[in-house]
């Protein structure tokens, strides 16, 4: 797993690739927490390069959704591969966070 | 007629479930299983193994043993996951998550078994002579259309 983040004020886009499971969910949590701790309230997680996520990774996303909601922003996902989208649907995450086709659309949703 | 087996012993380390499911992924690739089916079965194995590795054994468990036996034929993929840890039936003992709750009210966790049940055709549990045994069965016909 690798996370590359670009910042713009209180909005950030984190591009995640590889695999998130119980072996590295803690690292993913630390990455997202560090971004939010920098004052980011609106976080876009770009899943274009994500090829695997288990419930351990979903837990991390849930925590980040809560933190960004509390900060008055939120968390949005974009570029989600079909098989990852199915995981989000089955786990009810599509009701907790919005899913956009592109990072630009996701970012724009926060400025409305 | 296809009749392939993969038998794995799994340790208690945090990255052991990943090692095991990556071996399964390789096995699935060698036998040209559909990608969608491989992903779902891999996720199910990962969730079940992660539960066992994380919770089945006390810190000082005498001789923890976890094994995974995969069996592939032309029409089905089967897995038997065994451990000699504390009795745990994930089908009965894991509370179902309430998917209608808000992010604030959702429990952190409980999703692994939910995903496993959703992604595997049949899942059975039995407790025999001090062993937890989980059986996963996936007919292959139903997923042919997933091939990409």
- C-alpha B52/C-alpha B92 separation (Å) is 15
What is the least distance, in Å, from the CA of B111 to any CA of chain A? 6
Out of B50, B54, B114, closest to residue A91 by CB: B114
Whether B145 has a pLDDT exceeding 70, the answer reads no
Q: Do A92 and B100 touch (CB under 8 A)?
A: yes
CB neighbours of A112 closer than 8 A, spacing ≥ 6?
none
Q: Which residues of B touch A91 (CB under 8 A)?
A: 97, 99, 111, 114-115
Looking at the partner chain, which of A69, A92, A97 has a beta carbon nearest the beta carbon of B99? Answer: A92
Q: What is the pLDDT of residues B121-144, one digit of tens each?
A: 999 999 999 999 999 999 997 544
Choosing among B15, B47, B111, B114, which should be mutated to test the A contact, i.e. which has the most A CBs within 10 A? B111
| Residue B148 reports pLDDT greater than 50 | no
Predicted pLDDT of residue B127:
97
Q: Do A55 and B109 touch (CB under 8 A)?
A: yes
How many domains does one find in chain B? 1
Is B23 in contact with B118 (CB distance < 8 Å)? no
What's the half-sphere exposure (Cβ side, CA atoms, 13 Å) at B109?
A: 5
- Decide if pLDDT at B69 tops 90: yes
pLDDT digit string (tens) for A4-53? Answer: 999 999 999 999 999 999 999 999 999 999 999 999 999 999 999 999 99
Q: Are strands A2-8 and B3-9 parallel, antiparallel or unpaired?
A: unpaired
Query: Mean pLDDT throughout B27-47?
Result: 97
Give B147's pLDDT tier (boundaries 50, 70, 90).
very low
Sign of the four-CA dihedral A54, B140, B78, B24: negative
**Nearest beta carbon to residue B106 from set A54, A62, A87:** A62
Residue in chain A nearest B117 by alpha carbon: A90
Q: Where are the domains of chain A?
A: 2-101
Question: Would you identify the CATH topology of the domain A2-101?
Answer: Transcription Regulator spoIIAA (3.30.750)
Tell me the β-bridge partners of A3: A16
Q: Work out the pLDDT band at B89, boundaries 50, 70, 90.
A: very high
Residue B71 CA, chain-centre distance (Å), reads 13
In this structure, are residues A53 and A84 in contact, taking their beta carbons and an 8 Å threshold?
yes
In DSSP terms, B123 is beta-bridged to B136
What are the start-end ranges of the H helices in B31-123?
35-55, 90-93, 111-119
Query: A63-78 burial by CB neighbour count: b if 16+ within 10 A, else e?
Result: bbbbbbbeeebbbbbb
The per-residue pLDDT of chain B, averaged, comes to 92
Query: Do the chains contact at B46 and A58, CB–CB below 8 Å?
Result: no
Average pLDDT (A50-64) is 97
User: Does pLDDT of A68 surpass 80?
Assistant: yes
DSSP A39-93: T--EEEEEEEEEEEE-HHHHHHHHHHHHHHHHTT-EEEEES--HHHHHHHHHTTG
Query: What letter does residue B106 receive in the DSSP assignment?
Result: S
**Contact assignment for A92 to B97 by CB distance below 8 Å:** yes
Given pLDDT bands bounded at 50, 70 and 90, which one contains residue A112?
low
Cβ–Cβ below 8 Å for A54 and B47:
yes
Domain hosting B84: range is: 3-146
The contacts of residue B53 (CB under 8 Å, 6+ apart) are A22, B10, B12, B13, B14, B16, B17, B66
| Whether A22 and B14 lie within 8 Å, measured CB to CB | yes
Our CA-based measurement puts residue B128 at a distance from the nearest CA of chain A, in whole angstroms, of 28
CA distance B42 to A99: 24
Answer whether B123's CB lies under 8 Å from B116's CB.
yes
Determine whether the interchain pair A21/B46 forms a contact, defined as Cβ–Cβ distance below 8 Å. yes
Residue with the larger pLDDT of the pair B99 and A50: A50
Phi, psi of A19 (to 5 degrees): -130, 130
Most A CBs within 10 Å: which of B15, B96, B103, as the mutation test of the A interface?
A: B103
Q: Which pLDDT belongs to residue A63?
A: 96
Residue B2: pLDDT over 60? yes
d(C-alpha B126, C-alpha A19), whole Å: 31
What is the reported pLDDT for B143? 47
Q: Which long-range contacts (CB under 8 A, 24 or more apart) does B21-30 make?
A: B21/B45, B21/B46, B21/B49, B24/B68, B24/B70, B27/B70, B27/B72
């Amino acid at each position: 797993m690798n996370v590359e983040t670009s910042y713009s004020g209180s909005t950030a886009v984190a591009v995640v690739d590889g695999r998130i499971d119980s072996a590295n969910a803690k690292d993913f949590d630390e990455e997202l927490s560090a971004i939010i701790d920098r004052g980011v309230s609106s976080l876009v997680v770009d899943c274009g390069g994500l090829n695997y996520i288990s419930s351990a990774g979903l837990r991390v996303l849930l925590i980040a959704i809560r933190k960004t909601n509390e900060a008055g922003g939120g968390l949005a996902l974009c570029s989600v591969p079909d098989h990852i989208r199915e995981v989000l649907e089955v786990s009810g995450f599509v009701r907790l966070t919005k899913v956009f086709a592109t990072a630009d659309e996701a970012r724009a949703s926060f400025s409305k | 007629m296809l009749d392939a087996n993969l038998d794995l012993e799994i340790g208690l380390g945090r990255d052991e479930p990943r090692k095991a499911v990556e071996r399964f992924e390789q096995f699935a690739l060698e036998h040209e299983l559909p990608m969608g089916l491989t992903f779902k079965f891999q996720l199910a194995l990962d969730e079940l193994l992660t539960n066992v590795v994380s919770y089945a054994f006390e810190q000082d468990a005498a001789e923890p043993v976890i094994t995974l036996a995969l069996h592939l034929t032309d029409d089905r993929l089967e897995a038997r996951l065994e451990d000699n840890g504390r009795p745990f039936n994930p089908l009965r003992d894991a509370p179902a998550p309430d998917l209608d709750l808000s992010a604030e009210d959702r429990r952190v966790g409980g999703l692994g078994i939910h995903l496993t049940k959703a992604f595997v055709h049949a899942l059975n549990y039995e407790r025999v002579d001090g062993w937890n045994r989980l059986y996963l069965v996936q007919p292959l016909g139903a997923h042919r259309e997933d091939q990409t």
